[in-house]
Structure formats: C-alpha cells, structure tokens
Structure 1
Amino acid sequence: MNTSANSRRRFLCNLLSGAAALAIAPSLLHSETALAGDPVEFARGLHEHPWLAGWRSVGAESLGPTPIELEGRLPTGFAGTLYRNGPAWTERAGFRYEHWFDGDGMVHGWRFGEGRVTHRARMVATPKFTRERKAGRFLYPTAGTTVPETQAVRNNDDANTANTSVMTIGGRLFALCEAGSAFELDPDQLNTLGPVTWRPDLASLPFSAHPLVDRDGSVWNFGSVALMGGAGLLIWHIGADGKLISADIIETPVRGYLHSFAMTDQHLVCTLIPFAFAEGQGAFFRRLRFQDQQALRVGVIAKHTPTVARWFETEFAAIYHFGDAYERKGEIVMRAVQHPDIEEARSPMQEAMKGQAGAHGGQGRLRELRLDLRGGTARWEETGFDGIEFPLFDPRTRGDRPAVLYAPTNEGEASAPYFNAVASLDVRRGERQVHRYGRDILAEEHVFVPRPGSSRAGDGWLVGTLLDSARGRSGIAVLDAERVGEGPLAQAWLPYSFPLGFHGHFAVG
C-alpha cells in the first residue's frame, strides 16, 4: 500500500477512534428536553384537513400484498417494481415527532405485470424500530425532534431510521437514510435482512440516501462527516456487483450540510451549505442555523482521483436536491432546486407535522450553477422555472448536453399546501408540460423508466405515487415522459392510504 493510501486509512482509523468520539456521540443524535408535537392536536387537524393524511403515522407494520385493477392500459414493455421509502411511524406513547425527517422508514413495492399492479409495504426493521416497538415508546435521538430520556447510542445505526430512499444493486434492495448504513431488504417480501458493512472498518459510517449510478453500473455515494460532529466527506464507490471499489475521505474547507450531490461523466459535484449550531442542546435540526451571509462551497471531485476536491465559492443557496449535470468546453453546468426560505428548508412541512395548515412546504426555484474549470469561477443563473422539488431525469442523456427534468409541481387550485401535478421541464428550450391530477390529489416524485430496447434520451415513462385526500386512498400513475400533458396511460388506486414518502427507484423486470 502506498503512502497516500496509508494516510487515508489512518484518517479513517482516527475518524473511528474513541479519541474523536464521533461514531459514539454523533452531533446528529444529541438530545435532551422533549420538544415534540401532540398526537391529539394532529388528529384534530386531520379531521379538519383530510390532506394531513400525508403526515399521519401508520399503525401497522405491514400493508398488503394488495392486487388492484388498473384504469387504462400499461404500455408494452412496462414491467417491474417501483420501490418507495419515507418516514411512516411518527407516534408512540402519546409522543409525536415534530420533524418530517424523523419517522421510521416504510418501504413500498408497487409491482407491475400482466396488466395489474400489486402493492406491498413493510416497516424497515432497524435496531431502533425493533427496540422501540418492544419498549412501547421512542428510545433514541432523532435528527429534528428532541426526545426525552433517550438511551445511549453506540454508533449511527442504533438510531438509523432508514427512511429516505431506496436503491438496487445487482438485484439487491437497500433502504437508505443520510446518517448511517444502508439496510438490505428482501426485494420480494421486503423483510429486513440487516445493515450492510461494505468493509469492516467502515461499519456504521454514513452512506447517504442519494447514490448515483454511473454509466458502467457502478454506484457513487457520499457520507457526510459533518453529521458526526466533524468536517469531511467520505466518498463511496460500489461496483455493479455490489462490492466495494473504494472509500476515500476528502477533507473539506468548512463544515457544511449536504443532502445529495450531482455527477457528470467525469466528476462528482458536492455543495456545502454553511451552517452553525445555536447554543444549548437539542436535536440536530433544532440547533442548526444556515448561514446565508456566507458563501456556498462547491467541491468538484474527479472520478479517477476521488481523494481530493477542487473547491469553488459562489453565493449562498439552500439546496436539498439536484437535477442533472453535464460538462462541455471546460464548464460544468448543474441544475439544483433552491429554497428561498431557509427556515422552511430547515424543517419542511413543519406545520403539517403539527396538524396545522400552513404555507407550501416544498416549493423551490430551479437554478443553474455554472462552474468554469479553467478560470476557477462559479456563478448561478436563473432558468425561469420554479414551484418544484424532487427533480429527476433520464440518465441516458448525453454527458455534454442538458436533460429534460421531471418534477412534481402545482397547477391550479389545490386543497393542500403541497404538489398536485407533475411537469416535464426542458430548460434549454424553455418548454414546460404539466399534468394536473386534481384539487385534492397530492403528487409525489415521479421516477423515469426507460423504454426497453431504446437508447434515445427521454423515450420512456414516468411512474409516480399519489394521495387522494378526499377519498382516503393512495395510488399510482404511469405517464408517457414525452407527452406528460396528456395525462396517465394507466392509473390505480388502493382501498387505503398511507403517509407521503420521499424517494423511489424502479427495478425493471
């Protein structure tokens, strides 16, 4: 092993050592006095505002399997499973989490085949969830709610909620959050198999909820050391076979928050939102204060040397999610959704978690960040599109041109302060197509599914989940990605509903 590799291994060893105490007492998991919502108040609000079903707590550990008939017809070649994940268990023993990010994860599988769809869902049986189920109350610290009388955690996975996203690698299914290990699930029954340790010395380290799949099928991801009280990024590279290729630490110039990242064919792009902690104790997001008077730091990491980043500075932006990124003539162009209200970004849909009707909790404006690799400068440009979140795109798009983005948005009257439509956005042409589901429909992220046998970017479908608050049912829709404005090709509704989730992944076949 060369000197550089030895240095990186020593850095990891120090990171895991008791001297730093990072894995033992991560800052994300500090907690003292109880500051939480009231289940009775939430139930009262739900009675008055049925759309709050998107933020209620489930009361069962599993749902289905439930076969349901499709309205319309599935397109030829559309077959597979849409996996979705999100916080679902938010109340125990008269105590309700106040932050949307805190609930224990429930993974859903929507399986399509032979003109039908079957829904199944199951709670991720993390150590946190199973121990709290046995105790009948919440025991461990969370990211956004200060829980009373918490038990000590030995590492990040003691408090891992596995509640944000899902991915498949080589037929294996993983539930993800941003502060701990990936948890492997059975892809058919959704039973929890346990946390994944890619290498023994990397056990329990952060493996974020937004991995990106490269053109060779390998997976890039990051882990934020800032969530453990320090500074730095752990850059993961997992092969298409599910085996670890590399794990490298990049030291960062400042402590910053990042939830996801972007990728070109040659580079990874990470943005550090500057933050500081308010005085006193409490949960991570209760103490976190974004520093909008400071610059946004942007790290560009070459894939062939994922041990060092080149850092750029630009104006502050509060970003959770990115669209595509491409590279041409010495410039990286990356699209991101910026939240203008930094307090709302710190605790999205806070009023809804308390059972209150409030302002829209997810609207952001789509901006382009241009990074001049030759001149070393960075600047933001407006796209003219706003009122969106959770943007996705066809990853087959050429690496030197922009992709069409697909995102939930708002169109016309809505009963809920949430998205009620889905849009395709062609920034280069300034074109927007939109399908409005209806006044009482809450629309979630729509995943792009390529048409089998086609390599043309944009040739495929969107599949997205819905909540019909007026009829108390959850559903799913399939649209032609190139004709979004024409509405669903097929749609299906369950006889029950469940809380809104965050992110999904479509596994073909």
Structure 2
Amino acid sequence: MDRRRFLRNLLSGATIAALGPALLHGGDVLAGDPAEFAAGLRERPYLAGWRQVSAEAFGPTTVQLEGRLPADFAGTLYRNGPAWFERDGFRYEHWFDGDGMVHGWRFGDGAVTHRGRMVQTPKFQREQRAGRFNTPAAGTTVPEPVAIRNNDDANTANTSVVTIGGRLFALSEAGSAFELDPDQLDTLGPVTWRPDLQALPFSAHPLRDRDGSWWNFGALSMMGGTGLLLWHIGADATLRGAHVLEMEAPGYLHAFVQTDRHLVFLLTPFDYAPAGSFFESMTFAPQRACEVMVVDKAAPDRVARRFEVDFTMAYHFGDAFERDGEIVVRTMRLADVAQARSPHRAAMFGHHGPAAPAQLAELRLDMRRGHARWDMTGIGGIEFPMFDPRSPGDRGARLYMPTNAGDASAPYFNAVQMVDPATGRRELHRYGRDILAEEHVFIPRPGSTRPDDGWLVGTLLDHARDRSGIAVLDAQRIGDGPLATAWLPYAFPLGFHGHFAQAAA
C-alpha cells in the first residue's frame, strides 16, 4: 500500500471514531441559565468578559489614537475568541463552547479601525436558522443534537487566528482552519489542505519556523482515534507534509513548542468515561506521568525520543531552546486540575470565582541520557506568554504576558509584564483596577535583527465604562506605559489568541 493511501485509511478510521462516543453521546442536559448570568452581570460588571455579543458584526468603526505610534508601526491585529453563548433560554456552561468571532484592528494615519465578524461556520449558520443550539459541544451537553457528518459540522472556529501566505485563518482544536477575507473578515469556508485530509483537526497554535513554513498538529487521540497528526505548511500556505505519530497512551494537548531543530509535545494523561460532552466526560489523571514526544524536523514522520515526566496540566507554552544536548521548554503550569478542565466556569454561570493564573515551569529534557524533570521558576500569576521569535535558539527568551497587579475588581489580569527568567528581571505596566488585560502580541521592529526590539499590542476591556480597547507599548520600556491607546464605543467579550499581520513596507 502506498504511503498516501495508508495515511488516508488511517485518518478515515480516526475521523469515524471522532464522531462517535466523544461527540455524539447524549445525556442529562447541564447548562447555564441566561437569566442567572444577567443577574450576576448586574452585580459584577466584569462579567462583561463572558457576555454574549449583541450582534453578528461590529464596525467598521474608526477611532483616534491617544498618544502616538512610531512611524514604522503598521498593520492589523487579528483576534479570535468565543462570543455567542446563549440561545432560546439555554447558555453554555463551558467557556470553550461559544462560537468564534474574529476581530481586526487596523492601524493607520493616527487612528485604528475595528471590525468584528462571527465566523460563519456550518454550525453557527445552522443554529441561527434553528434558533437554538443543536450541535454537540466540547464542554456542555446540548439537548437533542442533530447528526453531524464530520468534525467541521461542529467546528466553532473560536480559539486563534493566523495569516499564512497572505491568507487569514480562524482556528480551533477539533476541525479545519476556516479561511476569512483579511479585509472584510467575511468567511470563505473550511480549508482542505489535501483531499484525503478533509475535516481533520488543525489545532489553534501553529508555529512559524525560521524558514517561514509552519508546523501544527491535530489531536486524533482525544477525539476517539489514535495518534497525533503532524502538519507542515509552506510559507505559501500549501501543504508540505502530513504524518501520523503514534502515541503510547491518550494524552491531552492544546499547544506545543519548537526549537530550531525539534518539535516538543507534552501529553497530559486523562481518563474518559462517557457522561455528556468531551470535557464533562474526561478527567485528568495526576496519578500518571505525562508523555513527552520529541520530533526532529528533518524526520517528521516519526518520534525521535520519548520521555516520561511528572504530571502537569498546561494549555500554553512560551519559548524553548537547546544547549549542550538539553532541550528546555517553558510552559504555563496550572495547579488546579479541576479548574483547568473548565477555566472560569463560575463566570460562565454569572458567579464570582477565583482567578486561574498559571506558574512558569521549565521542562528539561536530557536528549543524551533520556532523563526529564521539572524546574519551577517561582514566577506565577501569569498566562498567554509571547516572545520575540528572533531570539537565539541556544538560550531563553524574554517572555511577555498579562498578569495581576495591585487592586483589581475582577479575578482576571489587569496588567502586562516582561519577565526574563534567566535573570529574574521583571518590568510591568498596570492598566487599572477596572481594566481586563488580554494576551499581548510581540511585533518585531521592521529592519531590526536585535531580539526584543519591537512592540507589544494587546486588547483590553474596560468593564466600568463598557468599552473594548487596544494598547501599543514599547517592548523594551513596558513600565513607561502605552505609546498609544484607542477605545471603542462598544464592548465585546474576552477572546483567546491573536496574530499581528505587519503591513508591507
């Protein structure tokens, strides 16, 4: 049997399994109450971060910048996140379930123009017509779900966004990338990289290599299939390769990390007992070790080295580097395993709940001896790490991420910081008591090769004034505060991840 036919047959079986017990199981309906959430919102205005949008589209809205941008700063910040949580008296209970809305913040001529559009997936369009949720969800049991043909029938396209070869893609965990028009944000449809790979998972955290190509994965095992699907996409947005890597046991992963030579996958063990949706049915297993899979980029069709390391739960990674036969991976380690399964669950119900920040941990992989261990840095209260991709590959990078600082009216981030784990140096800007700060994307200064020479751009929610905004900071002078800020006359819920597309010179 030729290689492509083998891959097609293997993935076909995995797809059928994915549409079986994990997604189509029925059960008792467990969901939030829109009236209960509305009552909570009146008492706690910060819950606007988990409030449904008021319309399918926003803008274009142009607002003036407060402050001044550098002359060489130009482009668009794209953001994605769940935004549609309620229908017909039924509210999702899991933050990850909301249908995706992509935002575009375009900078130019001393102003910023904002657009927001719901991603018009088959799921969203079908439920708009029906007036109710009728599709299996990741974290909420939905009553009387319709039959679905493949993963894209349930795809929410709600987690991240990326541009490759000038094309814009909205991403989630369990299905295809959905292509959007980069200017108007209109949905063009799901992307099929090759006919035999239709509707297979293309995760929300692809990584750009130094040669301009992109790596990504699809978690077949957590959907009822077997293995890990490894994607390699060229800088021109065409498929270079797709391979299935064998996993020794089912493991959950949301993201991965790379060095100049290797890809590293941390698989968190879990048990699965059908009890509704996927997250309702799965339980992380801290009594078991995590499997770590290391793949050589020069041989992406096989695992180069496997490790076992003490259990941890992590959604997001910072950087990774290699030196003297050791790979060091930086990740955001979540201490509360139950909360990790459903982040900000209380907020989705309209209740006050604890913050869910992570701690920075370093995973050390001895490639020569096969040993693995965790080192804790003592740095906590963080999430959504970013770094300068130009950083050298043989030492750690500075990390940029939101954090909590001082008095705050919400159990969410209200500041942004730079942390240098090697030296312990930290620089911070606090936005204020009533400002919720989201992920801040690093933007290299055009024409510069010096690491950390660039800017941060991040989105904000001012719940006291019910408005969303954006800020740009000098990455080397975060403590000085924003170079420029802009506020919209409306607000929308918190998102997850973004990507900055720099304008052509």
Residue 324 of structure 2 is aligned to residue 319 of structure 1:
no
2:11 alignment partner AA:
L
TM-score (norm 2): 0.98
Q: 2:77 aligns with which of 65, 75, 82?
A: 82
2:44 alignment partner AA:
H
Q: State whether residues 28 and 229 of structure 1, in contact with CA within 8 Å, keep that contact through their aligned partners in structure 2.
A: no
Distance 2:92 2:18 in 1: 24
The Cα shift of 1:486 comes to 1.0
The Cα shift of 1:7 comes to 5.0
The Cα shift of 1:401 comes to 1.1
| 2:25 paired residue number | 30
Q: State whether residues 13 and 225 of structure 2, in contact with CA within 8 Å, keep that contact through their aligned partners in structure 1.
A: no
CA RMSD of aligned residues (A): 1.2
Q: 2:499 aligns with which of 489, 495, 505?
A: 505
Residue 444 of structure 2 is aligned to residue 450 of structure 1:
yes
TM-score (norm 1): 0.97
Q: State whether residues 222 and 250 of structure 2, in contact with CA within 8 Å, keep that contact through their aligned partners in structure 1.
A: no
The gaps in structure 1 that reach 5 residues or longer are none
Q: State whether residues 445 and 455 of structure 2, in contact with CA within 8 Å, keep that contact through their aligned partners in structure 1.
A: yes
The gaps in structure 2 that reach 5 residues or longer are none
Q: How does 1:236-251 map to 2 (within 5 A)?
A: 236-251=231-246
Range that drifts further, 105-114 or 27-36: 27-36
- Which whole-Å deviations, capped at 9, do the CAs of 1:299-330 have from their partners, x for residues lacking one? 00000111111210110000000000011111
| 1:267 paired residue number | 262
Residue 281 of structure 2 is aligned to residue 287 of structure 1:
yes
| 1:13 paired residue number | 9
Distance 1:498 1:201 in 2: 38
The Cα shift of 1:227 comes to 3.0
Partner SS state of residue 337, structure 1: strand
Compared with structure 1, are the counterparts of its residues 86 and 29 closer, same or farther at alpha carbon in structure 2 (3 Å cutoff)? farther
The Cα shift of 1:24 comes to 3.5
- Which whole-Å deviations, capped at 9, do the CAs of 1:14-61 have from their partners, x for residues lacking one? 33049x732442624534321100000000000000000000111210
The Cα shift of 1:8 comes to 6.5
| 2:323 paired residue number | 328
Distance 2:26 2:415 in 1: 38
| 1:408 paired residue number | 402
Q: 1:141 aligns with which of 136, 141, 150?
A: 136
Partner SS state of residue 392, structure 1: coil
Partner SS state of residue 321, structure 1: strand
| 2:374 paired residue number | 380
Distance 1:209 1:22 in 2: 21
| 1:494 paired residue number | 488
Partner SS state of residue 158, structure 1: helix
| 2:389 paired residue number | 395
Distance 1:111 1:372 in 2: 44
Q: How does 1:57-136 map to 2 (within 5 A)?
A: 57-136=52-131
| 1:200 paired residue number | 195
- Which whole-Å deviations, capped at 9, do the CAs of 1:363-394 have from their partners, x for residues lacking one? 01001001000010111111121110000100
- Which whole-Å deviations, capped at 9, do the CAs of 1:153-207 have from their partners, x for residues lacking one? 1100000000000000111000000100000000000000000000000000000
Distance 2:23 2:403 in 1: 31
Q: 1:255 aligns with which of 250, 254, 268?
A: 250
Q: How does 1:162-311 map to 2 (within 5 A)?
A: 162-278=157-273, 280-309=274-303, 310-311=305-306
Percent identical across equivalent pairs? Answer: 66
Partner SS state of residue 488, structure 1: coil
Q: State whether residues 140 and 151 of structure 1, in contact with CA within 8 Å, keep that contact through their aligned partners in structure 2.
A: yes
2:421 alignment partner AA:
V
Distance 2:191 2:408 in 1: 42
Q: 1:439 aligns with which of 402, 414, 433?
A: 433
| 1:419 paired residue number | 413
The Cα shift of 1:11 comes to 4.3
The Cα shift of 1:230 comes to 2.3
Q: State whether residues 25 and 155 of structure 1, in contact with CA within 8 Å, keep that contact through their aligned partners in structure 2.
A: no
Q: State whether residues 156 and 179 of structure 1, in contact with CA within 8 Å, keep that contact through their aligned partners in structure 2.
A: yes
